[in-house]
Structure 1
Amino acid sequence: MSQEGYEKLVAELQHLESVERPRASAAIAEAVDKGDLSENSEYDAAKEAQRHLEAKINEMKMTIAHAKIVDTSRLSNEAVQIMSTVEMTNLKDKSKMKYTIVSETEANLKQGKISIKTPIAQGLLNKKVGDVVEIEIPRGTIQLRIDNISIDV
């Protein structure tokens, strides 16, 4: 993952631990103050929200612990790899596309960032400018020609 993506993940984890976790505990305490827990739907909802929050925190901790930060200064634009920005043409309808291939946690389609685990990213890996690739996607097969590869630093 990129240094920026790593820093965002760490910041989000800190927010969850320092703001959301105390908020969840307060919601449980407030529900407990309302009396009988056997029929207290607020208590059940607060406990469920806390379980989801703790699961998310644990998942983020694992992601951070196993993260490998990519040094973009050492990447090449000779072939598609993680952190590559790829400009391509769909040969069927001549539409142009531009995606940056990133880690799963950094994927954001609105920003043009796709996960390295997507079928399109997998089909593009190690290909060069001028290559035509056929990629199976849920709606069938697409043919893409790679027009440009760059590394945004």
Structure 2
Amino acid sequence: MFQINPLPESAFSHLYGLPDDELALRNVQVHVSDGGAPCRVSLTDLAEGQRVFLLNFEHQPGETPYRSRHAIYVGDGALENRPAPGVVPASIASRLLSVRAFNAEHEIVDADVIDGAEVTGLISTYFGNADVDYLHLHFAKRGCFAAKVTRAGG
């Protein structure tokens, strides 16, 4: 069994409600969702017309050549939403994904590109390998980090 993990609300709540000019000073762009902005905190597609932040986030802080940061969306005022174990949120399942399996040393063990509707099987396959510690899901078209996947209860 696996767990899809949202980014913590606490990492972004200091930005909630700030005026656009203050956010710009922090290199945060403000956009209005077209209904297809996937929030990394709520793990939902933000409703059309909702204020959304586009900002850079370090999703892979391991001290390896795979250390990485990229643009992500976070809804202004987003509440952290942790899906039940074994559940892939629609905002992830509805997109083409790049799935990257990492070991405990933050090195890539395996990777593939898959339709999000089929990702459950690939997650199970990767976690069948004892060398795999966690997975990263990325939205394949733009390469943006979507979520971290861990073994449920781990």
Provide the TM-score with structure 2 as the length reference: 0.23
**Higher RCO (CA < 8 A, seq sep 6+):** 2
Structure showing the higher helix proportion among its residues: 1
Provide the TM-score with structure 1 as the length reference: 0.23
